[in-house]
């Protein structure tokens, strides 16, 4: 099974520090956390049963999945035209769009969430602007609730949808779409029958990535959401810091982790996870 090149010892020595560190401080505590979720005095699956029985827990799980689906859908709809433009634009326009995508991508999560508070709050940029031009008479209720969370999550996840789409689109041969047009297909038909199917791997990668990461959001809902309408990650934090219920925190963490790893495994099988990050071989 261990088919190492010659110099297998050297390979092991190179990998050892990383493997030991990951095993001791990441994998071991994660496994212990997972085992904790099965160690309730009442029986191994008591805590999991409680997640389903107690309506608050179930509501949070369903809400989290709903928000992740909505975020993935929004990011696909907003990301597709940007990726298309990026793949077809001239160098200057391309550089400008790329800057607009990458700057937020590499800007602190808190800075971006705080920026949204500045824009969306009742006396913020958007509301005061709309009231000044007389479009609305009282401020819109668009932050510290589900709308604020969805706006913030979509904003943060959008680059994750754009980049895989862009990667697929740059590899496409534009002549194929042109050929369809020359042979008489209309623009919409060409798009639906020729162009869009060719970009499906990028669509799948982007949607899967956005959905998966969205399941674990903590900072954005905590800042832009209301006191009600918690998401899964906030419920885990609440169980640790407020109700000191480590068993339930472990159970919810295990559910989140299993779902995440399962989705990445699916992504890996279909789309080759390594290639998303350029580690293909």
Q: Candidates 52, 62, 102, 200: give the one binding another protein (CB under 8 A).
A: 102
Span from 45-53, 139-147, 198-206, 253-261 in contact with another protein (CB under 8 A): 253-261
Binding mask 157-196 for another protein (x = CB under 8 A): -xx---x----------x--xx-xx-----x--xx---x-
Q: Is 111 in the site for another protein (CB under 8 A)?
A: yes
Whether the Cβ atoms of residue 46 and residue 54 lie closer than 8 Å to each other = no
Q: Is 17 in the site for another protein (CB under 8 A)?
A: yes
Span from 11-19, 41-49, 55-63, 140-148 in contact with another protein (CB under 8 A): 11-19
Binding mask 119-138 for another protein (x = CB under 8 A): x-x-xxx--x----------
Span from 49-57, 60-68, 135-143, 247-255 in contact with another protein (CB under 8 A): 247-255
Q: Is 269 in the site for another protein (CB under 8 A)?
A: no
Q: Candidates 18, 92, 133, 183: give the one binding another protein (CB under 8 A).
A: 18
Q: Candidates 71, 87, 217, 248: give the one binding another protein (CB under 8 A).
A: 217
Site for another protein in 27-56 (CB under 8 A): 27-30, 32-33
């Amino acid at each position: 099974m261990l088919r190492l090149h010659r110099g297998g010892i050297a390979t092991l020595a190179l990998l050892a520090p990383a493997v030991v560190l990951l095993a001791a401080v990441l994998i071991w505590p994660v496994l212990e956390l997972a085992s904790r979720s099965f160690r309730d005095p009442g029986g191994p699956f008591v805590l999991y049963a409680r997640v389903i029985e107690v309506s608050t827990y179930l509501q949070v799980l369903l809400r989290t999945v709903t928000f992740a689906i909505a975020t993935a859908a929004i990011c696909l709809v907003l990301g597709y035209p940007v990726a298309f433009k990026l793949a077809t634009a001239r160098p200057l326009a391309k550089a400008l769009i790329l800057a607009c995508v990458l700057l937020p991508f590499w800007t602190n999560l808190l800075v971006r969430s705080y920026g949204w508070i500045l824009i969306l709050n009742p006396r913020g940029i958007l509301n005061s602007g709309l009231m000044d031009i007389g479009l609305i008479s009282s401020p819109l209720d668009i932050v510290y609730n589900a709308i604020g969370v969805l706006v913030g999550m979509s904003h943060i996840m959008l680059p994750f949808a754009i980049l895989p789409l862009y990667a697929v689109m740059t590899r496409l041969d534009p002549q194929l779409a042109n050929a369809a047009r020359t042979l008489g297909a209309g623009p919409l038909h060409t798009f639906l029958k020729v162009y869009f199917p060719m970009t499906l791997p990028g669509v799948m990668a982007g949607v899967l990535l956005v959905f998966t990461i969205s399941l674990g959001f903590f900072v954005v809902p905590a800042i832009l959401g209301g006191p009600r309408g918690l998401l899964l990650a906030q419920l885990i934090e609440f169980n640790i810091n407020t109700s000191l219920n480590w068993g339930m925190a472990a159970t919810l963490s295990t559910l989140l982790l299993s779902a995440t790893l399962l989705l990445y495994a699916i992504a890996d099988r279909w789309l080759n996870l390594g290639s998303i990050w350029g580690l293909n071989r």
